[in-house]
Amino acid sequence: MSEEPKVKVLVVDDHPIMRYGVVAIIQARSDMSVVAQCGTAAEAVALFREHKPDITLMDLRLPDRGGVEAIREIRRFAPQARFIVLTTYDGDEDIHQALEAGARGYLIKGMPHEALIDALRKVHAGGRFVPPPVARVLAARMPGTDLSSREREVLSLLVRGRSNREIAQELRIKEATVKSHVSVILMRLNVTDRTQAVIAALQRGLAHL
């Protein structure tokens, strides 16, 4: 009787200890195999092309660019690619962006390792894996809070402590335009001032330090 082929997994995480731990958990399973591992988005794209894994485990925070961008790039040439995000980020915007990009599962680091194996099996079988804590955060996401790409740029600069004038100079737009963007950001985030906007942005994953 021939053995079932193993589920091929690519592990992407820039923390070596975390990555080796995840690899060890997967390799201990008789029905799974880690075909490659790396710590950057660029390596993830190259290794995906080389190994064509069944599932890619993707961290969101990588040194060269975000995991969501890497997912989008890979899905441009491999639309059927399956991803599970494994990250410390638990903000509703992080989750929304990852699932929107095409991730089929979302795991927070610190969850039991059984959840990782369960996620791999469910996603490989064609399903999704969004555990209850993640689903609750996503369900609580306010409708109509999507920011435009320009508003996100302004918000990320607000988080870095830039004034309206500095933001205008950096983005090469008028200061009055920045004020307009800030007003929209405050309204969409349902806050009353810049400090609250920064706190909300960091909590929800709209921006990161």
The answer to the question of residue 154 being in a domain is yes
Residue 23: pLDDT above 60? yes
Task: Tell me, yes or no, whether 182 and 83 share the same domain.
Answer: no
The answer to the question of residue 144 being in a domain is no
pLDDT of amino acid 201? 87
Least confident stretch, 21-30, 35-44, 189-198:
189-198
Point out which residues pair with 32 in neighbouring strands.
7
Number of domains comprising the chain: 2
Positive/negative CA dihedral, 157, 15, 13, 90: negative
Question: Chain-wide mean pLDDT for the chain?
Answer: 92
The answer to the question of residue 171 being in a domain is yes
Task: Tell me, yes or no, whether 130 and 155 share the same domain.
Answer: no
Task: Tell me, yes or no, whether 121 and 157 share the same domain.
Answer: no
Task: Tell me, yes or no, whether 12 and 108 share the same domain.
Answer: yes
At 145-204, the pLDDT tens digits run 678 889 989 999 999 999 999 999 999 999 999 999 999 888 888 888 999 999 888 888
Q: How far apart are CA 197 and CA 122, in angstroms?
A: 37
Least confident stretch, 1-15, 17-31, 140-154:
140-154
The answer to the question of residue 20 being in a domain is yes
Task: Tell me, yes or no, whether 196 and 116 share the same domain.
Answer: no
Domain CATH code at residue 45: 3.40.50.2300
> And the tokens for 180?
């307009």
At 204, which amino acid appears? R
Burial string for 175-186 (b: 16+ CB within 10 Å, else e) reads: eeebeebbeebb
Task: Tell me, yes or no, whether 135 and 154 share the same domain.
Answer: no
Residue 1: pLDDT above 70? no
Domain that holds residue 49: 7-139
